[in-house]
Amino acid sequence: MYYSKSPTMALTLVTLVLSTLMALSSANWLFVWGAMELNLLSFIPIMMQTNNNQETEGSVKYFLAQALGSALLLMSSTSLWMPFSLLHNFMPLILTAAIMLKLGSVPCHFWYPSVMASISWISCLILSTWQKLAPLSILAFLLPQKNMNFIMSMAAMNAVVGGVMGMNQTQLRTIMAYSSIGHIGWMMSLAAIFKPSACITYFAIYCMLISPLFMSMSYLNMFSTKHLSKLSSYSSILHMSLMMIFLSLAGLPPLTGFMPKLMTIMLLVQSMKIVMLILIMGSVMNLFFYLNIVITSMTLTSNQKQILPLVNKSSMKLIIPASILSLGLSPLIIM
């Protein structure tokens, strides 16, 4: 997919970056709300780069979900300063639900897979990385402590839902959406035990893994698991790099994706053993469908000699090194 190089698009991208930085640096809930609204309005034009009806539908779904989250965020954050309100005791819970809706977390996750399945890979990359930074940071640093039991429960549900729902999918973007939901569960568990730095570290490693993967899928124009079997006939090096990233996202040791999960297990084992076991169970289900993708793509052969044409062949010179750097040399050094 080609992105416009017009000044309007450049301004949109700058606004997208600055709005997130404003939300992260704001000391007032009203400023946080305003920055996240600006972020929403900046991301919509990026999602609608073409006249594709599917992308338009995904943009509308995203706007409606984020608008509802913004309304709940504004209502709950302003009501926190009204101690005599009848709903004052419920406002922290509503505030948490608003952030979860913006994050795409269970139980407010229903919009996320359908939006991911409707937009381009580059938009999926932005939605899965940069757009999650502000709500995840708010969840980790700013939310009231009385809701931490609720957040921990939803973290466990994220892992289960992400694992179970991902098993039945054949579209790569939908699979990555449910995988993201599962990873959000691990990040939320770190936020619930007051380890915000560990939460952001997990998120940074996750972004490092999916960035070359999503870029490769965009340049190769692949959207279904059956397309992966054609990749080996085009470039065996790229095929193996992508398969290793899939295994790393699944949390298979000793790859990079295993390290943040090991860190989370070590932090949860003292006080949250049940939640830790649920997270591990969800991760095993994630490993199952990732292994299914890898084994299928490596065993099945395609009659076609080449997959769909590349958008930009020269870009592959950057994708392959980026993929190799994401494979997991750091765990081997530590071991």
Domain segments of the chain as ranges = 7-334
Query: What was the pLDDT predicted at 190?
Result: 92
Query: Which residue bears the tokens 């780069």?
Result: 49
Query: What was the pLDDT predicted at 298?
Result: 79
Q: Which residues contact 303 (CB under 8 A, 6 or more apart)?
A: none
Q: pLDDT (tens digit, 9 = 90+) per residue, 272-303?
A: 889 999 999 999 999 998 998 888 887 765 55
Quote the CA–CA distance of 97 and 94 in Å, as a whole number: 5
Backbone angles phi, psi at 86, to 5 degrees: -65, -30
Quote the CA–CA distance of 201 and 190 in Å, as a whole number: 10
Q: pLDDT (tens digit, 9 = 90+) per residue, 153-206?
A: 999 999 999 999 988 888 899 999 999 999 999 999 998 888 889 999 999 999
Handedness of CA 176, 179, 185, 187 (dihedral sign): negative
Quote the CA–CA distance of 315 and 266 in Å, as a whole number: 39
Q: pLDDT (tens digit, 9 = 90+) per residue, 135-159?
A: 999 988 877 566 788 889 999 999 9
Is the pLDDT at 2 greater than 80, yes or no? no
Backbone angles phi, psi at 224, to 5 degrees: -130, 155
Query: Average pLDDT of 77-81?
Result: 75
Q: Which residues contact 211 (CB under 8 A, 6 or more apart)?
A: 125, 129, 322, 326
Query: Average pLDDT of 99-119?
Result: 92
Q: pLDDT (tens digit, 9 = 90+) per residue, 24-58?
A: 998 888 899 999 999 999 999 998 877 788 888 99
Q: Which helix (H) or strand (E) holds 288?
A: helix 273-299
Under 8 Å between Cβ of 284 and 163: yes
Is the pLDDT at 17 greater than 70, yes or no? yes
Under 8 Å between Cβ of 134 and 35: yes
Q: What is the mean pLDDT of the chain?
A: 83
pLDDT-based confidence at residue 212 (cuts at 50, 70, 90): confident
Within the chain, strands assigned E span: none
Query: Average pLDDT of 200-229?
Result: 86
3-state secondary structure of 251: coil
Query: Which residue bears the tokens 């965020």?
Result: 73
Is the pLDDT at 333 greater than 60, yes or no? no
